[in-house]
Structure 1
Amino acid sequence: MNIVDRFLQYTHINTTTSREKGAAGIMPSSDGQMVLAQLIAKELEALDMKDIVLRETAILTATLPSNVPASAQIIPTVSFFAHLDTSAEQSNDTKAQVVPYNGGDICLNTEQGITLKEAEFPELANYVDDDIIVTDGSSLLGADDKAAIAAIMHALQTLKANPDILHGDVKVAFVPDEEQGLRGAKAFDVESFDADFGYTLDCCGIGEFVHENWNAGDAVITFTGQSAHPMSAKGKLKNSLLMAHQFISMLPAGEAPQYTEGREGYYWVKEMTGNSAKTVLKMDIRDFTKQGYQGRMAFLQTMSNNCAGLWGEGTVSIHLADRYENVANSLEGEASFPIDIAKEAYARNDIQMNAIPMRGGYDGAVLSQKGLPCPNIFTGAHNFHSIYEYLPVKSLQAASAVVVDVIKITAERHL
């Protein structure tokens, strides 16, 4: 099966994540994710993969055994990850179409007048004379992350068809519900998987590579006031809503998502619920450096303590929690070799690596924190979570070729 047909086959299965079921602790949160996992498991069997395990959570793992002589030096086990779900921004079935691109705009849907415009998405100009896979304007394409699944599976097919390519053990994993808090990766058993390092494929245009992202945490601040009837409220009423607003006003000006970019961290006031008696404020805290992240968390703790001192005992409480670490923390010094291997694999395919700091999280952040160093390779897709999502075919093919070369280079360095 060619890689385009493989990808299109995956898009026919609706794997939209369900935030409601996810919040209830159900995994996978949508039936389609299990359907897709079952299809992939059958394809893995056809490729003679070993140790294929599909769990009730839809976490699927398998191993391509080493084909080097037993007497050869031990080759580290490399692994590759993709997620099964698509974002909840759109829940309609995908109607993907392949269009030859000669430049200019692409009409996605004549009846509804939906057009992918070069003026709005100028990077389209990089893909003239390529075939581009697009939506019909009524759904996501699902290249996030079905392009990754197709690239990994096509790489395994390539190795199966070319037994002269020497490799060590190669492990693959497909996990559910990445799109709502990296739930599949958090449930993933890294120890039993027994790989030495890995790569997720969950990134954007050709050449992009992620080996650093946020240190991420959450804060839940509870403001407890004192209710009173307004006719006799003087000196008695403590309005928790006003406490929360005053707390927000004391956050550093300009350090919010809408004012920051690149490696600039922030405090994100994300949700506030309550009344005059009790108000709960939820925040996200993000910073690329360990020191910066720890400083932000300490600052919120100090603010909470000071406000409690100002407004009275029991008026303010805070709960701080770590969500995931920067992948870079796991790729320092001698542990940086997955980056070096990827650089060589990109170069072998005449791809200029564009290492970008990811202002978000991905499965590799959780996996790295669990002890499996896991940077992120491109899939070639653009405009994730949008009806304007598109996937240049040559970029998809290049992603799969990079996976093959990562496997080859890993073996070459130890033979």
Structure 2
Amino acid sequence: MNIVDRFLHYTRINTTTSREKGAAGIMPSSDGQMELAQLLAKELDALGMENIVLRDTAILTATLPANIPSVQGAKPIPTVSFFAHLDTSAEQANDTHAQIVCYQGGDICLNSALDIVLKESEFPELANYVGDDILVTDGTSLLGADDKAAIAAIMHALQVLKANPEVPHGTVKVAFLPDEEQGLRGAKAFDVEGFGADFGYTLDCCGIGEFVHENWNAGNAVVTFTGQSAHPMSAKGKLKNSLLMAHQFISMLPAGEAPQYTDGREGYYWVKEMAGNSAKTILKMDIRDFSQEGYRDRMRFLQNLSDSCGKLWGESAISIQLDDRYENVANSLEGEASFPIDIAKEAYARNVIAMKAIPMRGGYDGAVLSQKGLPCPNIFTGAHNFHSIYEYLPVKSLQAASDVVIEVIKITAERHQ
């Protein structure tokens, strides 16, 4: 099976994550994720992989054994691993009807009946792919390249290695995880120690050449405001409106440090959800910063702000719960642990791909895996416009992602023989 047919085959399975079931603790949150995992398990078996394990959570793992005999006294070849996630984002839940377009420039009509057009004026990076085949949708769903392009790239790499046993390699492990799109749930449930890899790479997001080895230090805040109800006719001096307390709290956050005002490595406070009435209001926030010191400063600021408001309104009027969500993957790739970055740089160069390291303004499975002790930067899939009906995937970029995976495996073996 060629890589395009493989990808299209995977897109026909609807793996939209379910926020409702996810919130209820169900994993996988959608039946399609298990269906895809079962298909992949069969394909891994047909390829001759070993130690194939599919758990009831839809976490799927498998091993490609080393084909290099161990030499007594020689340093063992590290076990490299690759990760992709099974689910697609909940922004669109329709089935995917993918199509291949030979792009000749200009706009791409995705759906003439519905007048849905992928416009070059809105997505100027399309100009980089004139003359190439591009995978798109019919405009009524996501394409699912996030993250089925990664699954196809990894599976194709395994297929190539099995078809070419003369290519020396150490042990390779792969894992496909559920429900990345809602809090990295699969990665959080993943048994890193039992997996037995020394380092890894996720494939998720990004155009060809992009590479992620830093992202947010991320946390959550839940602030509860407790007021005092009173009838308006006798409210003077008695009514304490928790909604107004919440608004006053928000007004004291640093101006300009919100998602809509920041980019690059600038951190923020994100007022994400607020619900309540005059008696009780709950405010939920995300806190993000690339540096550990900056992240700690932001969490301390919120605690101090809550303490100050408590002195103003009374201690029972406000409470705050601060929790860490995940760390910056860069924290796990410093010093001697930076070798996965060096291997990736060489793999990109061998494929004549200019590496563009970008800071990810979000989380990905590799951040959780790295925090658990498995250093795990991120390789591109080649796709664009994730979480959108305008998602598209150049075929050459998809093939390049798989080629990089193969080179990473080869370089890992070469460096330790």
Same fold (TM over 0.5): yes
CA contact (8 A) 2:209 2:353 kept: yes
Equivalenced residue count is 415
For 1:36, the aligned partner's letter is L
Q: CA deviation at 1:313?
A: 2.1
Q: 2:81 aligns with which of 79, 82, 85?
A: 79
Superposed CA deviations along residues 272-298 of structure 1, whole A, max 9, x for unmatched, are 111111111100000000000000000
Superposed CA deviations along residues 12-45 of structure 1, whole A, max 9, x for unmatched, are 1000001111111110000000000000000100
* Cα distance in 1 between the residues matched to 2:315 and 2:94: 51
* Cα distance in 2 between the residues matched to 1:242 and 1:324: 32
* Cα distance in 2 between the residues matched to 1:81 and 1:384: 18
The answer for the alignment partner of 1:28 in structure 2 is 28
The answer for the alignment partner of 1:302 in structure 2 is 304
For 1:385, the aligned partner's letter is H
CA contact (8 A) 2:205 2:386 kept: no
The answer for the alignment partner of 2:250 in structure 1 is 248
CA contact (8 A) 2:60 2:177 kept: yes
Q: Does 1:67 align with 2:67?
A: yes
* Cα distance in 2 between the residues matched to 1:99 and 1:276: 55
For 1:357, the aligned partner's letter is P
Point out where structure 2 has 5 or more consecutive residues left out of the alignment: none
Q: CA deviation at 1:4?
A: 0.2
Q: 2:136 aligns with which of 134, 139, 160?
A: 134
* Cα distance in 2 between the residues matched to 1:18 and 1:365: 22
CA contact (8 A) 1:203 1:209 kept: no
Q: Equivalent residues in 2 for 1:324-343 (5 A)?
A: 324-343=326-345
* Cα distance in 2 between the residues matched to 1:182 and 1:231: 50
Q: Does 1:233 align with 2:256?
A: no
* Cα distance in 1 between the residues matched to 2:353 and 2:183: 31
Q: CA deviation at 1:70?
A: 2.0
The answer for the alignment partner of 1:9 in structure 2 is 9
Point out where structure 1 has 5 or more consecutive residues left out of the alignment: none
* Cα distance in 1 between the residues matched to 2:401 and 2:315: 57
Structure 2 SS opposite 1:314: helix
Q: CA deviation at 1:212?
A: 0.2
Q: Equivalent residues in 2 for 1:366-385 (5 A)?
A: 366-385=368-387
For 1:303, the aligned partner's letter is L
Q: CA deviation at 1:403?
A: 0.1
Structure 2 SS opposite 1:403: helix
Q: Equivalent residues in 2 for 1:6-405 (5 A)?
A: 6-71=6-71, 73-405=75-407
Q: Which runs of 4+ in 1 moved over 2 A?
A: none
* Cα distance in 2 between the residues matched to 1:243 and 1:95: 49
CA contact (8 A) 2:145 2:383 kept: yes
Q: CA deviation at 1:237?
A: 1.1
* Cα distance in 2 between the residues matched to 1:313 and 1:226: 13
Aligned-residue sequence identity (percent) comes to 84
The answer for the alignment partner of 2:414 in structure 1 is 412
CA contact (8 A) 1:218 1:283 kept: yes
* Cα distance in 2 between the residues matched to 1:146 and 1:102: 25
* Cα distance in 1 between the residues matched to 2:78 and 2:170: 7
Superposed CA deviations along residues 165-213 of structure 1, whole A, max 9, x for unmatched, are 1111100000000011111101101010010000000021000000000
Q: Root-mean-square deviation (CA), in Å? A: 0.6
* Cα distance in 2 between the residues matched to 1:91 and 1:199: 28
For 2:92, the aligned partner's letter is Q
* Cα distance in 2 between the residues matched to 1:110 and 1:223: 51
For 2:110, the aligned partner's letter is L
Structure 2 SS opposite 1:262: coil
CA contact (8 A) 1:272 1:280 kept: yes
